[in-house]
Each structure stands twice: as structure tokens, then as C-alpha cells.
Amino acid sequence: MYWVKNTSQSYPEDHYWRMSYLLAQFDENTITYNTRQNEGTFVTYWPYVTWSSVPGFDTANITPESEGIEKIRLLLDNGTYVRGSSNYLGYTGKATSARRPYLDVNFDDTPITLEISPSSLRTLYRERDSSFSWSVTPTSKFSILPVTQESAKFKWRVNYTGTIHEIAVQGKKTTVTIPAGTFSTDTVEAQIQVTANNGESSETEWMTFTVKNVMIADESPKTGFVDEKTPTRFSWNIKQSGATSTAIVQTSAVFSYKNGASDTEHTISVGADKFVVVPANTFTADSVLWQVTATTQYGNIVSSPWYTLTTIEATSTATGISPANEVVNGEQPVRFEWAHVISTGTLQTKFDLQISQDQTTWSTIKTASQQDTFTEIQPYALPAGTVYWRVRTYNTDDLPGSWSTPLQIIVIAPPPAPGITVISADPKWSIRWSQSGQQGYEVEFDGQIVKADFGAETRYTYPAYAEDGDHTVRVRIQNTYSIWSEWAEAAISIENDPGEPVMLTATVSPDAPEVNLVAAGSDGDSFIYYRDGIEIGRTDQPTFTDRFAIGHAVYSVFVTYSGSGNYSASDGAEADVSVKVPWLYSAKTKQWVTLKMSEKETNGLGQSYSITAAFLHFAGSHKPSVEYGVSSDRSMSFSAGFLNDSEDLQKFLAMVGGTVCAKWPDGDMIIGALFSWERQHGRIYTEFSTKIIETEFDEVAENG
């Protein structure tokens, strides 16, 4: 469908009329560009078909064949004629018909060219395909077939006078792809040249383009710590700047480093690999500077910046993980875990594990050089009871970090058997032992318990003098749960060099239930008196009074000498102590008093006794387990009467608030605290009800 525009009158721009009854007669497939030879050149003419007989209609854009105007006539039928006019052809012709209008065909000699509009893109790439596009527009549209691009060329050069390189584009394609590696400089000049389908050609002015180079990317490490004592891996990549694509091929590289900013540059040659491993102990300064320069497959050379690393290792902070707030079985291995926190990200090289029962005194239970952040403690290595643990880790410079915050656990287990050390093998032998969580202890000598006490004491000296020969001493300790350790054992070989023989006599006093001892025949400096093998006192005198015996007793005395650990021992002297009425002795007043009177026929006596027991509940058990201790509670209750204002009454009242020894006709005896009473007071007689609670009593200290 073609249109004719009215140009002779002032109609609106879009005012067109269809000339279907005329233009339908044209076979446009037979119409080509009319190029005629004129004075040795080919000129393109633009004909105008004039509709002359209809006022207001001027031109239709029609292009005849190259052979001339004669073919125009063949395009019309039914007696219609055309008139062609041209300054070059010099031909005019006119034919009219009464029934048909006529046409004037005018040939225009102005050539139609293409206007080129380049893409606004001004970026090309060195090592990636670059693309460039443009658009073309004909300078005139007065042709039946439009003027379009038939071919094009992308031209480029370096500098204004450089060699011009061309890339041909065929057909109507208005884009060009410039292969990777085409450019080797940062800027080029480029031009687009287009040839139209009518033989005309157009070109742009030379345009300046920026060529993006490749760059070093993904360098690692850029900052931070490098361990100079281990191999260090440095890596990088090469990418086309400004383009999102895969990495660029590297043909070779040079890795450079400096030991400090003032050091000379050291280099390592690299092939296609984009990494290098620097051997351990290569870096010798507190800081390391490194750079890489790479050559690509197209011969481009690119360098990274210099990066600075430090070889000064950070210190670590350990964090305890487990066990925490748990009950653990100390008879089995216990696993401890922690975290090694360090800003440089290096692994620990060593650790110290400590425990404490008071968070004041700490002891190291394990130290090991390892990277694993866990360890196992063997059975019985942990003391029973509440235990706190902490850990610290070491960095690659073998420097310890800070201790972790203590974590609490409860260990249920017997304490480990103590280790015994013999300090002295004299007749008065001495030992010491190790302990962990000790709350009490027992010392056994030749099968007899010679000391049982509470506390953390770890040293014992035999208070008596042992006989010559080989002996065995054993120690066990008790923890806070009243659980005993296994016995620890040590052998002691004793050899004594005695002095003069000693004769000992033992006589029961007629005035009180006490025994008078006399040692004769020795010139020693110190006298140690024993009852039934247990020391009861030591003095510098050969006489001694034993107030705390009841029943049958065998006495002996050891005489010692200044500057010597030897002794002379007496033979045994026997005595029997009994009472017909109750007696009280006051350690405070050093007086005896008899309890002869009572409202009852005999003095009433009541006793109570109990031993300690610990009840422990364990998971999975419905009933508690029991551990019996060695401590006990014992008391005696009795009544006694005194005449008012009697001397015995005053002695009794003076005894209250002190330690007393009570002896009974049935052979029983108790030593303990007399601290209260109740009484029935009469005009002549006063009856007291009271109780003695048994306590620890050191006869040696009392008689010293």
C-alpha cells in the first residue's frame, strides 16, 4: 500500500490519501533503483509521479527501473500515460486520455546516504571479547525500496597516525565482536564505515575508546598474621577489569617478598599456577611484604599492590566447654574440652590444665604439646568433692594465653592413695604424705592405729619410741564425702642404742583413783611414760602421776638423752585402778571429788552413743549408699548429791565449764565436757543432774 501526500496546500502533516486505484497497477517487485550513466558516472535519480488531473494531489514516491522511463508506461494500463521530465534525460512525454488522468514522472538526482549513530559504549577489553553496535538511518525516504546497510567495517588504530586495523561486518548486522587479545594499549581510536544497498557509503569520525586492562584479584592473604615457622600459601587470580567472566589464563608470574619494608626484594618464579608456597623459616622479620606480577596468555603484564603481613603472633584466650556444673565419676577417665580463641586463627601448640578446690590454690594435672582441644584425665587423678578447672593454650610462638574462666564440677570417688615419704627412721620416726581433697586421715604403725584425726595435716611424728627392727607404717585419707582412700604403705627399719637400764614401779594412790610412777637407775634428760603402749605424758622428772587410768594397766617409761635419738626402755609395771563410788577429776582445777550421795540407792548413769554415717544418692539407684566414718558421739548422764556448803559441793561447782574425767564402779570411764546441770536444792542437801559429753583429749598435753 502506498500513499500520496498533498504538498500543494496547507493540509495537516498526517493528511494522506490512498491512491489504491492507481498504485494497485504497480508491480513493485519489478521496480528497482534507476541508475543511469551520465557523463561517465552513475547517478541515482529519484522520480516523482505527479497526479496532475486531481487538484490537491502532488507526489507519490515511485522508483523506476534502471532501463528508463519506458518501463513506467508498462506499469500502467487502460490508456493511462505518464510524462517524464529530467534535466539530464532531456526527455518529456505526455499522453492524455479522456477517461484517465495522466502522470508526470520527475527524476531527482540527489543521492540517498546512511546516517550512522554509534553506541554510547566507550569501553573495550584487552582479554575478553568486546562488542560494539550502531544504528543507520537513510538521509531520505523517497524511494519505494528503503536504503539500508549492505556491509560495514569496524576500524581501529593506536594514536592518530597508527596502522588502521579493520574488522568486516556483512549484511545488515549492526554489531561487531572484537576478539580477546586484539588490543594491547589502554586507549584506541575507532571508526565505523557503512556501505548502503544503493552503493553509497558513510563513516563516523574517529572516536576514542578506553581499553580495560586485566587486574590481579582475590589475593590472599592481604592482611593479618603469617606463621613464619610453617609453610605459607599465597594465592591470587587474574580477571578482566570491568567484565564478569571466568579467570584469565596466566602463562607465568613472579612472586616477590621483603622481610620488612627496608629489605631487598626476593623473588620466586611461578608458571601457570596462581599460587606459591613459601617454605617455613623463610620470613625473618616482624613484618612481611609481598606482591605478585603475572603475564597473561596475550602477553599483558599486571601487578598487585604490595601487601603487609605480620609475623608477630597474637596471644590466645581459652574457653572451657565441658564438663561444666556436672557430677563426674572420678573412678573413670574424665574428658575435658575447651576452645582455643585467637585472632590470627592459628592452632594451639600446647595446653596446661589446672584444678583447684578453693579457686585460690591451683595445681597442674596435665600439660601436653598438641593441637587437639581436649584431653582425658585418668581415674583417681581428680580429688573427690567440689573441683574447679581451668585451661590455657599456647600460640605458635610457644607463649601461653590467658586462663579460661573456672568451671565447677563435683567429683564422686575415693581420694587417691597418698604417697608416703619417710622423713626420719629414728625410734621417734616421722613421715609425710601427699593428699588430694583430704578431710581426715589415719596413721597405722605395725597394724595399730596410732593417729586418727580430721584436717589437712600431711605430717606425722611417732610420739613414742619404736623398738628396734623392721616396721610398717600405713596412711589413708578421707575426703569430704567420708570416703576413704586405699592404704599407702612404707617400710621403716629402726635401730636403737640404749643407755643405762631403767626400773619402773607403779603404785595406786590410797587417796584417789590414780597411779604413781617412779623411774630409777637412769641419768637421762627426758622421761616418756606409756600406758598400755600409748604415751600419756613426758617430763624431765623420774616421777609421774597417771590420773586417767581405769582397770588393769601396764606402764613403761622411755628415757631419752639430749642430742641423741636413742632411748632406754624400762620393763613393764602393772597396776589396777578401780573405784567403789563414782569419782570426778577436773582438768581445770586439778582436783578430785567423790560422788558418794544420791537420792537413789546408787548414782544413776545413762549413756548415749552414735557414729557418723554419710548417705549418698546416685542416679539409677532407689536407695542411698552409706559410708561409715570413724568419728563418734558419746555422752553420760548421772545425778549426784552434796551437803549444802560442803567442800565437795564447791569442788563440783568449780568443775563446771571444763574438762573432767569420770570413773565408775563398773569400770567405765569418760573424759569430756561438763558444761551444765540441773539441781533440786533442799535445806540440807542439793541433788544435781548433769551430763558429760566425750571430747578429744590429749593426755600428753595435759600431763606435760
- Within 10 Å of residue 371's Cβ, how many Cβ atoms? 12
Helix, strand, or coil here: 224? coil
Whether residue 609 is predicted with pLDDT greater than 90 in this model: the reply is no
Whether residue 339 is predicted with pLDDT greater than 50 in this model: the reply is yes
The β-bridge partners of 309 are 288
CA atoms of 591 and 658, how far apart (whole Å): 12
Strand 469-478 with 515-520, pairing: unpaired
Whether residue 16 is predicted with pLDDT greater than 90 in this model: the reply is no
| pLDDT, mean of residues 540-562 | 92
Whether residue 8 is predicted with pLDDT greater than 50 in this model: the reply is no
Instruction: For residue 650, give the amino acid letter.
Output: Q
pLDDT of amino acid 321: 97
| Chain position carrying cell 550502531 | 134
Categorize the per-residue pLDDT at 436 as very low, low, confident or very high, splitting at 50, 70 and 90. confident
To the nearest 10°, the Cα dihedral for 536, 537, 542, 543?
A: -70
| pLDDT, mean of residues 371-400 | 92
Residue 273 · residue 237 · CB < 8 Å: no
Q: Which residues contact 209 (CB under 8 A, 6 or more apart)?
A: 122, 123, 124, 156, 187, 188, 189, 190
pLDDT of amino acid 110: 62
| pLDDT, mean of residues 505-516 | 95
**Averaged confidence pLDDT in the chain:** 82
CA atoms of 205 and 116, how far apart (whole Å): 10
Categorize the per-residue pLDDT at 28 as very low, low, confident or very high, splitting at 50, 70 and 90. very low
pLDDT of amino acid 657: 94
Whether the pTM exceeds 0.75: the reply is no
| Chain position carrying cell 600409748 | 534
Categorize the per-residue pLDDT at 146 as very low, low, confident or very high, splitting at 50, 70 and 90. confident
| Cell numbers that stand for 65 in this block | 527501473
- Please count the helices (runs of H) and the strands (runs of E) in the chain: 4, 55
How do residues 183-237 score in pLDDT, each as one tens digit?
Answer: 988 899 999 999 998 889 999 999 999 999 999 999 999 999 999 989 999 999 9
- With 0-12 / 13-18 / 19 or more C-beta atoms within 10 angstroms meaning exposed / middle / buried, residue 273 is exposed
pLDDT of amino acid 62: 39
Categorize the per-residue pLDDT at 42 as very low, low, confident or very high, splitting at 50, 70 and 90. very low
More confident residue, 537 or 561: 537
Residue 550 · residue 577 · CB < 8 Å: yes
- E runs forming strands in 323-405: 326-329, 334-341, 350-356, 363-368, 374-377, 385-394
The sign of the dihedral angle between the CA atoms of 15, 21, 22, 26 is positive
202-208 long-range contacts (CB < 8 A, ≥24 apart) are 202/113, 202/114, 202/115, 202/116, 202/136, 203/116, 204/116, 204/118, 204/134, 206/157, 206/160, 207/118, 207/122, 208/122
Whether residue 142 is predicted with pLDDT greater than 50 in this model: the reply is yes
Residue 304 · residue 236 · CB < 8 Å: yes
Residue 421 · residue 437 · CB < 8 Å: no
Q: What angle do CA 283, 288, 292 make, to 5 degrees?
A: 105
Q: What angle do CA 74, 79, 83 make, to 5 degrees?
A: 65
Name which of 463, 397, 457, 407 is nearest 432 in CA terms: 457
How do residues 49-91 score in pLDDT, each as one tens digit?
Answer: 433 333 333 333 334 433 333 334 333 433 333 333 333 333 3
How do residues 442-454 score in pLDDT, each as one tens digit?
Answer: 999 999 999 999 9
- b/e for 442-451, b at 16 or more Cβ within 10 A? bbbbeeeebe
CA atoms of 633 and 53, how far apart (whole Å): 148
How do residues 453-468 score in pLDDT, each as one tens digit?
Answer: 999 999 999 877 788 8
Instruction: For residue 478, give the amino acid letter.
Output: Q
How do residues 646-661 score in pLDDT, each as one tens digit?
Answer: 999 999 999 999 999 9
pLDDT of amino acid 121: 72
Categorize the per-residue pLDDT at 11 as very low, low, confident or very high, splitting at 50, 70 and 90. very low
Residue 144 · residue 28 · CB < 8 Å: yes
In angstroms, how far is CA 198 from the centroid of its own chain? 78
pLDDT of amino acid 257: 97
Containing 702, the helix (H) or strand (E) segment is: helix 699-703
More confident residue, 129 or 497: 129
Categorize the per-residue pLDDT at 584 as very low, low, confident or very high, splitting at 50, 70 and 90. very high
| pLDDT, mean of residues 577-595 | 94
| Chain position carrying cell 567405765 | 668
More confident residue, 262 or 631: 262
CA atoms of 156 and 190, how far apart (whole Å): 4
pLDDT of amino acid 603: 61
pLDDT of amino acid 13: 35
Whether residue 544 is predicted with pLDDT greater than 80 in this model: the reply is yes
| Chain position carrying cell 617454605 | 279
